[in-house]
Structure 1
C-alpha cells in the first residue's frame, strides 16, 4: 500500500472521528442518558450478530481475494451462507414481534424490534460490500462510505433538535437505521460491477468449506474480544441502570477518538512490519517505532487529563462525571494500540490461537472485575474494569509474542500501561476530592514530558530516517 492509498483510507477514520466528536455533545442535549444507554445496546448487539453470522467468511474473503480468479463468485460464496442464517434467525421473531425490544431496551415495542432487525441486516450486508472496496484499494470510496452516514445521522439529530419538541428512543434508533441504510446503498453503487457479476455465479462448495475451516476459529477469537470490549456495557445494563450506561457510553465515545491513532497506525504498520521482520535490522526498527509510539500514547493521555475540564462546557450538567471516567475509557484504545506493536511475533510465526487465548483470558478477568465493581460503582466501576483488563491483554500479547519470537524490551511498555491504569483509577475513585488540582497535576506532568520529548527530537529524526531507509 503506497502513501496515496494510506492517506485515502485514513480520511474515513478521521472523518468519522470528526463528525462523531460533533455528534456526541448534540446527542447529550437532545436525548436523556437513559436513551443513549439503550442506543448503546443496539450497537453492541449489531456488532455481535455481524461477528457470529459472518461465520468468519469476511476474514476468509480477505485472505482469498488476491488468489481468487473469480472475485464475483468469491463474494457470493462469502456473504450468502451468513445472510441466510441471519434471516432464518430473525424469522423466529415473527411470532414474538416485541421480544427484541424487551430484551434490549426493556420496552415492549414492535416498531423498535423492526428497526433493530432492519439495522442489523443492512449493517451485515454493508460489512461485506465494504471489503470489496478495501481489497480493491479504493480508499476514497471506502472513506466516503464511512463518512456519509455520519453526516446524515448528524443532520437528522439536528432536525430533531430544531423542529421537534419531544424526542425518544425510537427517534434515535430510526436516525441510526436510516444512516446504515444509506451506507448500504453507497456501498452498493460503488461495488456494482462485482455484485452484478455474482448473479450468474454458483457458490463454490469446496471453497466454502475451506473458507469456513479458516474463518470459524477466528469467529471464536472475535467473540472473545467482543466480550472483552462489551461486557462492561452489558453489566451496566443488567446490574446498574440505563443512565449509568448512557454516561459511560458518552465517555467511551469521547475516548474513542484515540482509536484514530490505532486505525491509522495499523493501516501503515501491518504491511511495513512484515517487510522489516525479514531484514537484518528489522527488529531494531520495530523497537524504535514502538518506543516513539509510547511517547505519543503518553502525550495523548496527559493532554486528555489536562484539558478534560473542557467537557463540562459542551455537555449538560447530568454528564459532569464524564471528564473523570474519560481517562479510564482512554486506556482501552491506547493500550490496544501499544499491543499492536508487541503482538507482531504471534503474527509472524502464524500462531494466531495465542491471540485468541489472550482475548479470552482478558475477557474472563473483565467479567470478574465487572461483577465486583459495577453493581456498587456503576460507570466508574466499568471504566476501571476495562482499563485493568486491557492492561492484562497487553501483557499477555507481549509475553506470548516474546515466547514465540524475539524478546522485546518490556519495562517501558508495562510502566506506561501501569501508570495510565492506576492514575485513571485513582481519579475516578476520588473524583469528589479532585477539581482543578487534578488538571494542574496533569498540566505539570505534560509540561515536563514535553520538555523531555523536545530534547529527544534530534534523536527521533535521526532514528526515523534510518527506519525509512
Structure 2
C-alpha cells in the first residue's frame, strides 16, 4: 500500500511539474495575443478556441471516459483490443461527419451561425485541429488507463504549450503576428504532437494490434457506446455552460466584449487546472480499485482534501489581486473584467467538487444521471444569459455561469452523498479554509502596484500558505511519511 501511495505522489509531482510549466508559458500566450491582436481579433480567437474545445470533446463520443474507467486494470492484450476497436469506430465516425459537413449546406450555416464568415480560412484550420484533437484525446486516455500518468502529463503539456513556444519564437523573429498566423502555428504544433505520441509511445500497441490481434470486436464497440453515448449530452451541456456566454455576448453585443470576458474567464479557469491534475491522477487509481473490488473511498477523500488545498488559496489569491493580475498580464485596457472575475471566482470550487461527485457516478456507470444534471445546467445557463447579458453585459454572463455551476454541484452532491464515506479527521477542512483566509489577508495588505512586486507578492502568498498548512497540522502522519520519501535527509519532516 505504501508503494502505491508513493507512486501516486510521484505521478502527482510529475503532473504538477508540467502544469507549472504550462502556467509559465500560458500567460505569455495571453500576453502576446492581447498585445499584438486587436480586442476584436482576440475575441475572434476566443470564439475559435472555444469551438475547438467544444467539438474536440463532443466528437470523441465520450469514449475517453470509457477508456479510462473500463480499461484500468484490464489485461494488456484485452486493453489493446478494446482500444483499437473503439478507435476504429471513432475514425469512421469522424470521416463520415467531415465529408457530410463539407458536401452539405451545414458548413455555410455553421459559419454564419458563429459569425465567422470573414475568417473562413482560420475556421478550416480549426476543423483540422479538432480532428487531430479527438485522436489525441483517445491516445492520452489510453496512456492514462495504463497508469502511464507521467507520459500522459508530458504529452498533454506538449499538446497545449509546444505551439505557444513556436508562436513566441515567430513573434520574436518577425515582430508581427496575425490571427491566421496564430491558428496556423497552432495546427503545426498539434500535428507534431500527435506524430510524436504515435511513434514513441503507441508504436508497440499498434504493431501488436496489426500483427497479433488483427481484428476489432463489435461487441466492445456496443459496450462502449452504451456507456459513452449518455455522456455526449453531458459534454455538450458542459461546453454550453462554459462557452455559450461568449457566443451570446457576440450576438447581443460584439467581439470586443467577448475579448474582455474571455480574459477574465481564462484567468479564473486557471484555478481549475489545480483540481484537474488531482482528478487526472487519482481517478484512474480509484477506477482500478473499484474494478478490483477494493476500497476506493480513501482516494475520494484524497481528491476532496487536495481539491480544497489547492483550489481555495488560488481563489482567495486571485480575488484579492484580480486587478493587479489583469494589468500584469494584459494591461489596463482589460480592467473592465475585474468585476467579472469577482463574480466568477467561486465557480472553480463548484466545478471541482461537482467533478468529484460525478467521478463517483462514472464508476457506477450512472452516466444518464450525469446527463440530466448537465442538461439542466445548460438550459438554466442559456435562459439566465438571455435575461442577464442584455442588462448586465459580461457581468451578467458571469452571474449565469456561477449560478449554473452551483446548482449542478448541489444536484451532484444529492445523488452521491450516501455513496462516499468521508474521513473528516483526514480532511481537515476548516484548517485549510483558515490557512487560505490568513494568506489572503497578508497578500491584500501588501497591495502591489508594479510588475516586480506583483510577482514577489504571489510568491510570498504561496510560501505563507504552505507554512500555514504545516503550522495548522493539515497533513496526517501517512502524508508526512510519503513526503519524507521524496525529501533529502536535511529536509525530513517530523
Task: Give TM class, smaller chain.
Answer: 0.7 to 0.9
Of 137, 143, 146, which aligns to 1:133? 143
Structure 2 match to 1:428: none
Of 302, 305, 312, which aligns to 2:316? 302
CA distance in 2, matches of 1:455, 1:220: 40
Q: Summarize the alignment of residues 194-205 of structure 1 with structure 2, pairs less than 5 Å apart.
A: 194-200=205-211, 201-205=214-218
Change (3 A) 1:99 1:115: farther
Change (3 A) 1:237 1:393: same
CA distance in 2, matches of 1:328, 1:173: 31
Query: What is the RMSD of the two structures over their aligned residues, measured on CA atoms?
Result: 4.0
Structure 2 match to 1:121: 131
Structure 1 match to 2:46: 40
Of 386, 403, 419, which aligns to 1:388? 403
Q: Deviations over 1:34-90 (max 9, x none)?
A: 222222222332233333332233333334432463444333211222222222222
Structure 2 match to 1:321: 336
Check conservation: 2:264, 2:340, Cα contact below 8 A: yes
**Other structure's SS at 1:69 match:** helix
**Other structure's SS at 2:346 match:** helix
CA distance in 1, matches of 2:299, 2:216: 44
Between stretches 80-89 and 379-388, larger displacement belongs to 80-89
Change (3 A) 1:181 1:330: farther
Check conservation: 1:9, 1:140, Cα contact below 8 A: yes
Q: Deviations over 1:161-208 (max 9, x none)?
A: 65154x433222212222211221121222222234434522211221
Structure 1 match to 2:348: 333
CA distance in 1, matches of 2:193, 2:11: 21
Paired residues, what number?
441
Question: Does 1:50 find its partner at 2:56?
Answer: yes
TM-score, structure 2 as length reference: 0.75
**Other structure's SS at 1:48 match:** helix
CA distance in 2, matches of 1:289, 1:212: 28
Structure 1 match to 2:279: 266
Q: Is there any run of 5+ residues in structure 2 with no aligned partner, and where? A: 434-443, 449-456, 483-494
**Other structure's SS at 2:215 match:** coil
- Residue 132 of structure 1 and its aligned partner are, at CA, apart by 2.8
Q: Is there any run of 5+ residues in structure 1 with no aligned partner, and where? A: 418-435
Q: Deviations over 1:269-324 (max 9, x none)?
A: 43676869x999x9799679746754654432222122222221431332122333
Check conservation: 1:342, 1:408, Cα contact below 8 A: no
Structure 2 match to 1:74: 82
Change (3 A) 1:230 1:73: same
Change (3 A) 1:348 1:458: same
Structure 1 match to 2:247: 234
Of 108, 111, 114, which aligns to 1:104? 114
Q: Summarize the alignment of residues 52-451 of structure 1 with structure 2, pairs less than 5 Å apart.
A: 52-65=58-71, 66-67=74-75, 69-91=77-99, 92-94=101-103, 101-149=111-159, 150-160=161-171, 162-165=173-176, 167-190=177-200, 191-200=202-211, 201-270=214-283, 290=304, 293-294=307-308, 297-310=311-324, 311-342=326-357, 346=361, 351-402=366-417
Between stretches 100-109 and 308-317, larger displacement belongs to 100-109
- Residue 225 of structure 1 and its aligned partner are, at CA, apart by 2.1
CA distance in 2, matches of 1:136, 1:79: 16
Check conservation: 1:98, 1:110, Cα contact below 8 A: no
CA distance in 1, matches of 2:142, 2:299: 32
CA distance in 1, matches of 2:394, 2:57: 26
Q: Deviations over 1:384-416 (max 9, x none)?
A: 21111111122111122226666999xx99xx9
Change (3 A) 1:372 1:349: same
Structure 2 match to 1:16: 22
CA distance in 1, matches of 2:102, 2:409: 40
Change (3 A) 1:144 1:283: closer
